[in-house]
Amino acid sequence: MLKKNLKFLALSMLMTTGAWADGQFILGATYNGWNTNYQAPAQDNGYEFLVPVDVSYRFMPELKLYGQGEFMAANDVGSAGTYTLSNFSDTILGAELNFKTFGLSSLCNVAFNVPTGDTSWSTKEQNSIVPTQFIDSRYSGRGFGMSAFYGLALPEGRGAYNVGVGYLYSGAFNPSYGNITAITALKLGDAVFFAANHITPYQDDQNEIVRFSIYQSFATLENNQNYYQLGTNFNASYNWSNPKALSFEVGTQLYMPSSWSTNGGPLVTEVKNSNGPRVYATSSYAFGDLSVAGVVKYIFQSDSTINYNGGGFLAGLGPAYRLKLAEDSDIKFSGMVNYVNANNNATDANGNLTSTQYIMWTLSTAYEVKL
């Protein structure tokens, strides 16, 4: 499934050299369905049907333009009622420029989030979908935003160190709908980030990649007053890539304590962290054009009793098959089943915390053609 988020870090840090293609067009179709054992006052469940589109074109070796968008139809049932969606999401338009800085390969990436989506959907879906700390929301509907990234490749033996810095401007966001009190101006916190990786290539297109990144978020504002600030985020991972056999990645995420404001006053740092550490592992094995992939993720319980997060775990497994249609085109079929156990994230009939189990299944296809 194509992800339509402002996640340009991974894209920008893959500074490979060699022949360049003129462009690529991808048209996909994805079905997501889920349910849970939580029954009060209604069983959370839903489905989504997405049609993502991704197009890029390199007008010259130094310049590539790209765009991403999708249409989504959804039906979510949760404790707040049943909500439906039939709308385009936000559109991402961007440019990637390759050049030299003091003789070193460099990259600059600038992208814009164009507000073509339904800004109310993220609030409507939150009472039904699998918690986003386990599986990201598949839809984006918010105000204008942009990101900028500058990266530099430093050769080292047969490999290279890649380092970069970036800025994410989140823009305004208004989740109010129905009878919910209108939030006239909710601005999500901007962020700056630093990223570094080391890539070591081996024979037969195998690669070893070590990644590290830091995100520093700024305050989210409500009606121009402080509301919340996410703690500094540290990420590290090790990846082994072998397109003909076993590939895997292991990684971790750590958050520093967040800060909260009362009635627009100064931000106060949590005494105990509301975001516990996270660890994950993904793997896949290729049998020619057929591959099987799996994922496990564990989120530790938070220390905080005020902004409590019980953590939990995710486990997923699914196959994928790529069918070659012509020299410049193919079609990919894939599926995935994810099981999520969210610890103490709901209350039972007696008002006691209880864990919730979710099952989410995905069927997807994507047509890819070189332009």
Give pLDDT tens digits for 326-370.
Answer: 989 999 999 999 999 998 877 777 777 788 899 999 999 999 999
The pLDDT of residue 81? 79
Judged by average pLDDT, the poorest of 25-29, 90-94, 132-136 is 132-136
Sequence ranges of the domains in the chain: 8-370
**Has residue 226 got a pLDDT over 90?**
no
Report the chain's mean pLDDT, rounded to a whole number: 86
pLDDT in tens, 198-225: 999 999 999 999 999 999 999 988 878 8
**Has residue 4 got a pLDDT over 50?**
no
The pLDDT of residue 3? 36
pLDDT in tens, 273-290: 888 899 999 999 999 999
Is 2.40.160 the CATH number for 8-370?
Answer: yes
Task: Print the SS3 string covering the chain.
Answer: CCCCCCCHHHHHHCCCCCCCCCEEEEEEEEEEEEEECCCCCCCCEEEEEEEEEEEEEEEECCEEEEEEEEEEEEEEEECCEEEEEEEECCEEEEEEEEEEECCEEEEEEEEEEECCCCCCHHHHHCCCCCCCCCCCCCCCCCCCEEEEEEEEEEEECCEEEEEEEEEEECCEECCCCCCCCCCCCEECCCEEEEEEEEEEEECCCEEEEEEEEEEEECCEEECCEEEEECCCEEEEEEEEECCCCEEEEEEEEEECCCEECCCCCCCEECCCCCCCCEEEEEEEEEECCEEEEEEEEEECCCCCCCCCCCCEEEEEEEEEEEEEEECCEEEEEEEEEEEEEEEEEEECCCCCEEEEEEEEEEEEEEEEEEC
pLDDT in tens, 135-173: 998 998 888 899 999 999 999 888 999 999 999 998 776
